[in-house]
């Protein structure tokens, strides 16, 4: 087993942006832990597929994980309403872990206060949110700035997951 990767979950997540990284990380040998506001709750996606939270943020020791992934859809808007969800992103970043956000996942980077001074990308409709949070928007399929990895849409998932796995190799 290569280590542990957290993927955040909340209602109305983008199906591909949760499940593609989930299975890609498992395929690479990582234990993947879905973390949501309520342990055991099944959260529906944009298209009705449910993902169950294995744990809540307070049960995760960020020093014991390798990466934290934030899928998009409208779930990040729900995630950022829960202080513990925002705090786990901040703590993972402060601990130097890989923090990866795709699409609307950038909202969590802004809410966690970790976009400032970073080059990043996102779904175009939240570009202003990230630049207003102090980030520098770059329109490309994947952007890596230190331990922060961002992508725009489901079409970018191959580059997104490839870059996460490259960062995990250190």
Report the distance separating Cα 68 and Cα 140, nearest Å: 21
Q: Write out the two tokens for 125.
A: 């409709």
> Per DSSP, what are the bridge partners of residue 3?
30
Q: What is the full DSSP assignment across 31-46?
A: EEEEE-SSTTPEEEBT
Of 47, 78, 93, 103, the catalytic one is 103
* Catalytic residue check, 93: no
* Catalytic residue check, 104: yes
Report the distance separating Cα 167 and Cα 150, nearest Å: 12
Of 78, 93, 104, 122, the catalytic one is 104
Report the distance separating Cα 109 and Cα 75, nearest Å: 13
Give catalytic residue positions. 103-104
């Amino acid at each position: 087993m290569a280590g542990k990767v957290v993927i955040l979950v909340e209602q109305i997540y983008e199906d591909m942006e949760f499940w593609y990284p989930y299975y890609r990380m498992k395929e690479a040998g990582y234990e993947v832990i879905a973390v949501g506001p309520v342990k055991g709750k099944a959260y529906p996606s944009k298209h009705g597929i449910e993902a169950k939270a294995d744990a809540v943020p307070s049960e995760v020791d960020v020093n014991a994980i390798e990466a934290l992934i934030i899928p998009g859809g409208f779930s990040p808007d729900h995630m950022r309403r829960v202080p513990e969800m925002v705090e786990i992103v901040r703590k993972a970043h402060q601990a130097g872990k890989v923090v990866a956000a795709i699409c609307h996942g950038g909202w969590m980077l802004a809410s966690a206060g970790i976009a400032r001074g970073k080059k990043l990308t996102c779904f175009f409709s939240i570009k202003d949110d990230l630049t207003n949070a102090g980030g520098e928007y770059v329109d490309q399929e994947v952007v890596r700035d230190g331990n922060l990895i961002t992508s725009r849409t489901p079409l970018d998932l191959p580059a997104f997951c490839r870059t996460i796995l490259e960062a995990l190799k250190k």
